[in-house]
Structure 1
Amino acid sequence: MTTATATAPLGRAGFGNVLSSEWMKLRTVRSTFWTLITLFAGSAAVSFLICLAAADQYAKDKAAGNPDAAGDIVMLGLAFVGQIAAYVLGVMAISAEYTTGGIRTTLTAMPRRVEILVAKAILLAVIVFVVGLATAFACFYLGNIPLEAKHVGVKLSDPGVTRAIFGSALYLAGLSVFGLALGFLLRHTAGAITIGLALIFIIGGLVQLIPGSIGRWLFKVMPGNAGSVITQFGESTRNADKSFAPWTGFAVFLLEVLVLLVIGAIMFERRDA
């Protein structure tokens, strides 16, 4: 007597399944929720407090025609809190899996590594863009409250304001993917966060101390300097010697993120989990 054994064909998981799996992981990790809360609430609160403290001086500078009285003061919360939160979220989206060993389970279920990286990058960019856009509007309106009280409020119709609001969301999304790429490269949470934030906030400013055209060029192309120009408006965007035009700078930043992401993908393919 023979027994026939039927074997069901194994299906190949599509990219939609990879996205769904990565989305489930991202939204069930508590650090994702709290980092996004910090991005939104922290940025909005800091923008309001900065404008509240600086409203008197800002009004005086505005009346005196001081070029330093740029309206993008209302967006400073994103510069101080939003950038850090977006970048840290990107790093933790992958480094946490290496820390817990969960990456082995992920690769067992989905051995096509590049698809995992791309799915994480897409999800991060979309989530951070949406939250970042809401945060940019919150910063704008809350920061305007003390400025309006001094009759020096910023309007959405002012030159560059709408572009800066949407640009802020784009820049934060790019920063999260930048963090993801470094996380894939270093596979260590503290190391990736330290190196990335130093590159954006410290080294990006120090390179201008290099004399001559080399120092000026390096300052312009550093990721934080190139990408953040799109978040600014008013007088702060008019110094062509120190910075790119907003969209040009953002394009340079995206190219840098893409290069780092490709290197991360190559290393992810070649190294063991």
Structure 2
Amino acid sequence: MTATPVAAGRPGTGPGPAITGRAGFADVISSEWMKIRTVRSTFWTLIALFAGSSVISLLITLAAANSYAKDLAEGKPDSADIVLAGLAFVGQIAAYVLGVMTISAEYSTGGIRTTLTAMPRRVEILVAKAILLAVIVFVIGLVTAFVCFYLGNIPLHAKHVGINLSYPGATRAVFGSALYLAGLSMFGLALGFLLRHTAGAITIGLALIFIIGNLFTLIPGSVGHWLYKVMPGNAGGQVTSFGETGRNPDKAFAPWTGFTVFLIEVVVLLIVGAILFERRDA
């Protein structure tokens, strides 16, 4: 009996080149983009960032328009930051939470094991997540900042005290708000890699940004002053403030100096997160 010849072209049989190849960084970006855009929490968090910030900015300026106009008439220092007040609350929280959940959700569901099986080069995963997250949040944050600015100005223009983009520091505050939101999302991503626990990373991060930083004002002397200045929320948030010198110039960094300090802190946390990500089991 003669052997039956193998059918040509059947997968896995016959001569042919071996399947080889190595996924490049573009493939990692593509994979992470697919994960980010197909997760429902990403969509709803970005909706909360946009809609919540816009509505809160409008409501705050509606409530404060009379007192704002009165303060200007009496020659008191104005508080132009109110037109972006929604970003200072809802926007910052949403951006930070999105950053944490971008990685912590994979740990909570076990999806990180599948990710590492498909792409064992861990640092590239972290870098791809950080790049995509920063770009997405910056774009949405910039749109939201402009919407907040113009919505918040509606009640102020009705009182003839509206704020234009020519106002000192206004353009920087609008673009700076988007940059700060992108930085906060990466800050959340870094803590997510470090702690690998959603609730823990969210609690610690929000406490650092909104609470602990302000508590350092209770420490007398230069030590308390320095600690206050370098805390993430106090340093990074300076770039979102109106005016040429930023918010509390006697206590805090200049806007771009503070934002640079904040970015250094984020990069350091991401590097530590990458080191631990390489060394720890999934």
Indicate whether the TM-score tops 0.5.
Answer: yes
| RMSD after superposition | 1.5
Q: Which has the larger radius of gyration?
A: 2
Aligned mates of 1:175, 1:237 — CA distance in 2: 19
Counterpart contact for 2:66–2:159, Cα < 8 Å:
yes
Q: Could you say which residue in structure 2 is the equivalent of 1:20?
A: 30
**Aligned-pair distance for 1:240?**
2.8
Q: Partners of 1:164 and 1:202 in 2: how far apart?
A: 22
CA distance in 2, matches of 1:252, 1:65: 34
Q: Which runs of 5+ in 2 are unaligned?
A: 6-12
4+ long deviations beyond 2 Å? 1-7, 238-241
- Provide the TM-score with structure 1 as the length reference: 0.97
In structure 2, how many angstroms separate the alpha carbons of the residues matched to 1:10 and 1:245?
53
Q: 1:138 aligns with which of 144, 147, 152?
A: 147
1:99-114 equivalences under 5 Å are 99-114=108-123
1:30 aligns with: 40
Cα distance change of structure 1 residues 26 and 11 upon mapping to structure 2, 3 Å threshold: same
User: Once the 2 structures are TM-superposed, how far is the Cα of residue 239 of structure 1 from its aligned partner?
Assistant: 3.5
Identical-pair percentage: 78
CA distance in 2, matches of 1:238, 1:141: 21
Q: Which structure would you say has the larger RCO, counting Cα contacts within 8 Å and 6 or more residues apart?
A: 1
Q: Within 5 A, what are the aligned runs for 1:58-77? A: 58-67=68-77, 69-77=78-86
User: 1-side partners of 2:193 and 2:39: how far apart?
Assistant: 18
Q: TM-score, normalised by structure 2?
A: 0.94
Q: Say which SS state the counterpart of residue 154 (structure 1) adopts.
A: coil
Out of 44, 55, 58, which is 1:45 matched to? 55
* Distance in 1 between residues matched to 2:240 and 2:41, nearest whole Å: 26
Cα pair 2:245 2:255 within 8 Å, conserved: no
Q: Could you list the runs of 5+ residues in structure 1 that have no partner in the other structure?
A: none
CA contact (8 A) 1:74 1:140 kept: yes
Query: Do the aligned partners of residues 113 and 238 (structure 1) sit closer, same or farther apart at CA in structure 2, a change above 3 Å counting?
Result: closer
Q: How many residues end up aligned between the 2 structures?
A: 272
Output the CA distance in 2 between the equivalents of 1:240 and 1:57.
24
The answer as to whether partners of 1:70 and 1:236 remain within 8 angstroms in 2 is no
| Offset of residue 84 of structure 1 | 0.1
Question: 1:176-198, CA deviations, whole angstroms, 9 ceiling, x for partnerless residues?
Answer: 00000000000000000000000
Shift of 1:208: 1.2
